[in-house]
Amino acid sequence: MLKYFHKETELLGTVPNVLAECSFTKKLEGRVKISGSKNASLAMLAATLLTDEECIIKNVPRLDDVFVLLALLEKLGKKISFRGNIVIIRGAVKRQILPEGLSRKLRASVLVMGPILASKGSGVFALPGGCALGERPIDIHIMGLRAFGARYEICGGKMNFKRKILHPAHIHLPFPSVGATENILMAASLIPGKSVISNVAREPEIINLVRFLNAMGSHIKICGSTYEVYGVRNLHGAQFSVMPDRIESGTFLLAAAAIGGAIKIIGAESGHLTVLIKKLAQTGVQIGEKRGILSVKAARCPQPADISTAPYPGFPTDLQPLWAVYMLRAAGKSKITEKVFPARFMYVDELKRLGADMKLKASVLTVGKSCLNGAHLIACDLRAAAAMIIAGLMANGTTRVGGLRHLFRGYENFFEKLQMLKANVSIRQTKKK
């Protein structure tokens, strides 16, 4: 059985009893190396269900979400080795019923549906869990799988897909959902014949998945917002490396901009962050790139800038809370419009405890320059946790941030990396109530 492990909480006990302590930090300085992408890793790990042969995936971050998905794969019959940042997966799927307890811990558990149905024709799936970001239906996933011929009934609160021989299909997504695009691509790869999926999500993580599937023997052509999939009867094992995490890259770009100072970011793909880099430059941040290393120098008096989140290549919704924290330094008012997950603004009331000047109306947040003072905050989701920690480093006095179970789902060695940048932050275990 795969041993649960998280470097930063190994000696601190259970994650729910850990909190961060942040003190005012005048500036960040030094270098930080970006880990492999969480979202790209999860999709590639799910794709290994399409073959019985050995798959070796490199640069996989050691994150709680990754461990949950690997535990799911083990329950389904896969044999797994996770050493350093390399995952080796081999063996056949022996069980097609997803454990409900694990499924509820992870939104990405839905990604096993396509591979299992394509390889086995049937399966029983519980609804997934993850961050509480409001309504996040899986109807587009289901629509795509039904287009291939899959049929299901609800039984005991679970989706019971009956055994079917799936066929190729032409599918137009009503919204460019990342997860649905990944699920449909994986299923189509093991359905012989040509499938066409249009209005797809175009995130770099999906391109990473496409390349992995092609390395396994699929034939996928990318034609703008349309993918042509020439499915085959059998896929084989492959070796592949996970791309750098663009959201982690953006997090450290915004941390430097918000706290101040100058840092170098190793391993970031600037081409994945075009919109963010342009917006930061608009506020006065200086960003350069040389030999794959991004250099970031914060602006002394940042100018306000409005953003509106959108699917890639637009401004990432995952970076919206961090942008809001940065705008607390800007000399004027800025507006943030959330068009992907309106419930992502749940962090606003917590930041107001620090003295943040924020006014939320519908899906538009207005942010003003603020003098922050330490307080005790509770993180409501993964990206909000990172945003609150950065805000705590900007605030006078000491800020304590709880709810770190969210943070450990998506950032590898986050505190260690901040400390290497000279941030006044630490984590400690609290007493159990």
Neighbours of 426 (CB within 10 A): 13
Helices 38-47, 178-189: inter-axial angle, 10-degree rounding:
30
Q: Which tokens hold the place of 103?
A: 């499924």
For every residue of 266-316, DSSP letters joined together read ES--GGG-HHHHHHHHHHT-EEEEETTEEEEE--SSPPP--EEB-STTSB-
- Which whole-number Å values give the CA distances from 330 to 182, 301, 363, 411, in the listed order? 38, 7, 21, 26
If residue 103 lies in a helix (H) or strand (E), which one and from where to where?
Answer: helix 100-103
* Residue ranges with strand state E in 34-114: 55-58, 79-83, 86-90
Exposed/middle/buried for 370, CB within 10 Å: 0-12, 13-18, 19+?
buried
For residues 413 and 85, the answer to whether their CB atoms sit within 8 Å is: no
User: What's the rounded Cα separation, in Å, for the pair 25 and 423?
Assistant: 6
Bridge-based pairing state of the strands 286-290 and 219-223: unpaired
Residue 155 a catalytic site member: no
Sheet holding 158-161, edge to edge: 123-125, 158-161, 152-155
Handedness of CA 86, 91, 95, 96 (dihedral sign): positive
Helix (H) or strand (E) holding 427: strand 425-429
**Using CA atoms, how far apart are residues 117 and 186, in angstroms rounded to an integer?**
10
Q: Three-state SS for 416? A: helix
At 70, which helix (H) or strand (E)?
Answer: helix 64-75
| Other C-beta atoms lying within 10 Å of the C-beta of residue 223 | 10
The DSSP secondary structure of 174-193, one letter per residue, reads: SS--HHHHHHHHHHHHTSSE
Of 22, 55, 131, 380, which residue is the catalytic one? 131
% helix, strand, coil for the chain, step of 5: 35, 25, 40
For residue 381, what are the CA distances in angstroms to 6, 125, 308, 332? 18, 24, 20, 28
Q: Which of 289, 355, 299, 282 is nearest to 325 (CA)?
A: 355
Supply the residues annotated as catalytic: 131
